[in-house]
Structure 1
Amino acid sequence: MNAAPRFSLRAAVTDSVSTGRKDELPEAVEAVEAAPPPPARQRAAKAAAEPAQTKRPTTRQGARGITVWVEPEVYRMIKLVGLDADMTTQDVMMEAINDLLAKKGKGRIAKTR
Structure 2
Amino acid sequence: MSAAPRFSLRAAVTDSVSTGRREEAPEAIEAEATPEPAAPPPPRRRAAKPPAEPVKTKRPTTREGARGITVWVEPEIYRMIKLVGLDADMTTQDVMMEAIGDLLAKKGKGRIAKTR
TM-score class normalised by the smaller sequence: 0.5 to 0.7
Which blocks of at least 5 consecutive residues in structure 2 are unaligned?
1-43
Measured at CA, do residues 97 and 110 of structure 1 come closer, stay the same or move farther in structure 2, by a change above 3 Å? farther
- Whether contact under 8 Å (2:104, 2:110) holds in the other structure is yes
The 4+ residue runs of structure 1 with deviation greater than 6 A are none
> Which structure 1 residue ranges, 5 or more long, are not aligned?
1-29
Q: Percent identity?
A: 84
- Rg larger for: 2
The reply to whether residue 90 of structure 1 matches residue 60 of structure 2 is no
Partner of 1:64: 67
Larger RCO: 1 or 2 (CA < 8 Å, sep 6+): 1
Is 1:77 matched with 2:72? no
- The count of corresponding residues between Structure 1 and Structure 2 is 74
How many Å separate the matches in 2 of 1:95 and 1:80? 15
Cα offsets for 1:56-102 (capped at 9, x unmatched): 11111111011111000000000000111111111100000000000
- Structural RMSD (CA): 2.4
- TM (normalized to structure 1)? 0.56
Length-normalised TM-score, structure 2: 0.54
Query: In the alignment, what sits opposite 1:108?
Result: 111
